[in-house]
Amino acid sequence: MGGILIEFQTKGCQEIFTKLRVDTCYSGTAKAHALSSTTRYHRPGTSVGLEPITNLQEPNMEIHEKESQYLPQVLLLKPPPDFELFGEEAFPSEKFQFLKVWKSTLPLDQFLKTHAQSVEAILSSGGAPVTAEILLLMPAVRLVMTTSAGLNHIDIAECRRRGISIANAGNVFSEDVADLAVGLLIDVLRTVSAADGYVRRGLWTAKGDYPLGSKLGGKRVGIVGLGSIGSLVAERLVTFGCHISYNSRTQKPSVPYPFYSSVQELAANSDVLIICCGLTEETRHMINKDVLSALGKEGVIVNIGRGAIIDEQELVRCLVQGEIKGAGLDVFENEPDVPKELFAMNNVVLSPHRAVFTSETFQDRQKLVVANLEAFFSNKPLLTPVVDD
Give the chain's residues under pLDDT 50. Answer: 1-58, 61, 63-64, 67
Cα(364)–Cα(362) distance, integer angstroms: 5
Who contacts 365 (Cβ-Cβ below 8 Å, separation ≥6)? Answer: 82, 147, 169, 172, 173, 356
Of these residues, 120, 306, 312, 333, which one is catalytic? 306
Q: What is the pLDDT of residue 125?
A: 86
Q: What is the pLDDT of residue 68?
A: 57
- Does the annotation count 40 as an active-site position? no
Q: In the 8-state DSSP scheme, what is residue 97?
A: E
- Least Cα distance to 38 among 1, 90, 91, 78 occurs for 1
- DSSP letters for 108-153: HHHHHHHTTTTEEEEEE-TTS-B-HHHHHH-TT--EEEESSS--TT
Of these residues, 190, 236, 353, 374, which one is catalytic? 353
- Does the annotation count 306 as an active-site position? yes
Angstrom CA distances, 169 to 161, 216, 388, stand at 22, 31, 16
Q: What is the pLDDT of residue 127?
A: 82
Which tens digit of pLDDT belongs to each residue from 324-383?
A: 999 999 999 999 999 999 999 999 999 999 999 999 999 999 999 999 999 999 999 999
CA angle 239, 245, 246 (to 5 degrees): 120
Q: What is the pLDDT of residue 60?
A: 54
Q: What is the pLDDT of residue 126?
A: 75
- Does the annotation count 335 as an active-site position? yes
Of these residues, 62, 67, 323, 335, which one is catalytic? 335
Q: Are 333 and 305 in contact (CB under 8 A)?
A: no
24, β-bridge pairs: 31
